[in-house]
């Protein structure tokens, strides 16, 4: 007799005790896309996943077309629902962002505070310590301020500064509170010893907004940097004689985030980079989303109005100011335009980012039906399993 533990202290001692079963065409679970799977529900909780052939004869079965998957995991979210974290570095602001992205299938976000005054970063740290593990908030990404002025993108130059004790103390505070933390920095400006200290704290050190040469990048990786921030964007490019940050990232065994909106990086270059990487499970999607996702079509950044025009967010200098894209759109684009397999696309949106930050995400058992996605043809997001069951 099968004994299946589930939450709330309840024990299911027999498959016959499961209230009903959901059988989708395909199930993405723990990194694999499989047919012929059945999800056993007790209340709104998935208690177990078994092969359809294992179901009891009298099982109540709900067949669903399409794919069921855990929610998307986004490690770079600047804003959403009209809220920019830099402008509203509060728990309420983070929750509003998470709620906006949840409407598009992203159930776990890492709010991202970009280059700003020290007190803004401090407020974001305070907020996430109180918000982590609630409403899908899974940590904090500090993007800057220790970056290259020449490769700062939309980050404000006056706030760019060398690595300082204040940032080290804020990261230490996050890690002491158990908050998963990523920090983006330029290795030509941050000494290897500081990178090593950050890595020892348990922070994920990500290389980005950098004009470093490949040797400097390799030194940073040896010191403990384990990730790259939005490949191709705001980093030195490859040439015939110098790989730059882009080439060093592609060649490395570090994790690499990439924006897949057809604007920040062309679909052809996304495909080329993915094929060139040493391991397919080293690359992951990020949205780099701004407040326009699920919100008004303009917002304020550093006192300037950023407007959405032809799906591009542009600042006063003509630089891209983040992205107006969801993880759901990015996943579908990977399949439709880049030619990535559905399983690989879902791994890039769920399995790999979870692994980057050491998160326990991507498994169906123990999830609520309200946290599981229904994906249609081409992995287009159609809603949540709870809504499909209630229809």
Q: Who contacts 159 (Cβ-Cβ below 8 Å, separation ≥6)?
A: 115, 116, 117, 144, 145
**80 touches 101 (CB < 8 A):** yes
Among 74, 116, 194, 288, which one carries the catalytic annotation?
288
SS3 helix, strand, coil % of the chain, rounded to 5? Answer: 30, 30, 40
| Dihedral in degrees, nearest 10, Cα atoms 130, 132, 137, 141 | 90
d(CA 213, CA 96): 39
d(CA 150, CA 158): 12
116 tagged catalytic: no
d(CA 184, CA 225): 10
- DSSP-assigned letter for residue 64: E
The encoded tokens of residue 100 equal: 């906006």
| Dihedral in degrees, nearest 10, Cα atoms 63, 66, 70, 74 | -160
Count of beta carbons in the 10 Å neighbourhood of residue 383: 14
**347 touches 69 (CB < 8 A):** no
d(CA 181, CA 142): 8
Q: Return the HEC string of 214-283.
A: HHHHHHHHHHCCCEECCCCCCECCCCCCCCHHHHHHHHCCCEEEEECCCCCCCHHHHHHHHHHCCCHHHE
Q: Among all residues, which ones are annotated catalytic?
A: 288
């Amino acid at each position: 007799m099968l004994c299946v533990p589930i939450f709330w202290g309840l024990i299911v001692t027999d498959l016959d005790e499961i209230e009903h079963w959901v059988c989708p065409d395909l199930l993405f679970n723990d990194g694999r896309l499989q047919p012929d799977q059945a999800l056993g529900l007790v209340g709104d909780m998935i208690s177990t996943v078994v092969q359809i052939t294992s179901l009891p004869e009298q099982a109540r079965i709900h067949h669903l077309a399409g794919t069921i998957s855990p929610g998307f995991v986004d490690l770079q979210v600047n804003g959403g629902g009209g809220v920019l974290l830099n402008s509203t570095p509060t728990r309420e602001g983070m929750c509003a962002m998470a709620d906006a992205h949840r409407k598009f299938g992203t159930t776990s976000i890492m709010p991202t505070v970009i280059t700003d005054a020290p007190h803004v970063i401090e407020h974001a740290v305070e907020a996430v310590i109180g918000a982590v593990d609630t409403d899908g908030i899974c940590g904090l990404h500090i993007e800057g301020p220790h970056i290259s002025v020449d490769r700062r993108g939309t980050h404000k130059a006056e706030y760019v500064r060398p690595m300082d004790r204040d940032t080290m103390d804020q990261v230490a505070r996050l890690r002491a509170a158990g908050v998963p933390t990523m920090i983006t920095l330029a290795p030509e400006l941050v000494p290897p010893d500081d990178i090593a200290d950050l890595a020892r704290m348990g922070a994920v050190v990500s290389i980005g907004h950098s004009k470093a040469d490949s040797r400097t990048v390799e030194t940073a990786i040896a010191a403990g940097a384990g990730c790259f921030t939005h490949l191709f964007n705001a980093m030195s490019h490859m040439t015939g004689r110098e790989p730059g940050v882009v080439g060093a990232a592609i060649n490395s065994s570090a994790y690499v985030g990439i924006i897949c909106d057809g604007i920040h990086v062309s679909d052809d270059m996304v495909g080329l980079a993915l094929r060139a990487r040493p391991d397919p499970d080293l690359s992951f999607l990020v949205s780099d989303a701004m407040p326009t996702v699920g919100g008004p079509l303009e917002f304020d950044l550093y006192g300037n109005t950023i407007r959405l025009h032809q799906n591009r967010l542009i600042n006063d200098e003509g630089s891209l100011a983040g992205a107006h894209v969801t993880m759901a759109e990015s996943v579908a684009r990977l399949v439709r335009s880049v030619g990535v397999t559905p399983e690989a696309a879902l791994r890039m949106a769920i399995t790999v980012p979870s692994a980057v930050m050491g998160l326990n995400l991507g498994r169906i058992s123990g999830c609520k039906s309200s946290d599981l996605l229904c994906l249609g043809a081409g992995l287009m997001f159609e809603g949540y399993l709870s809504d499909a069951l209630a229809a």
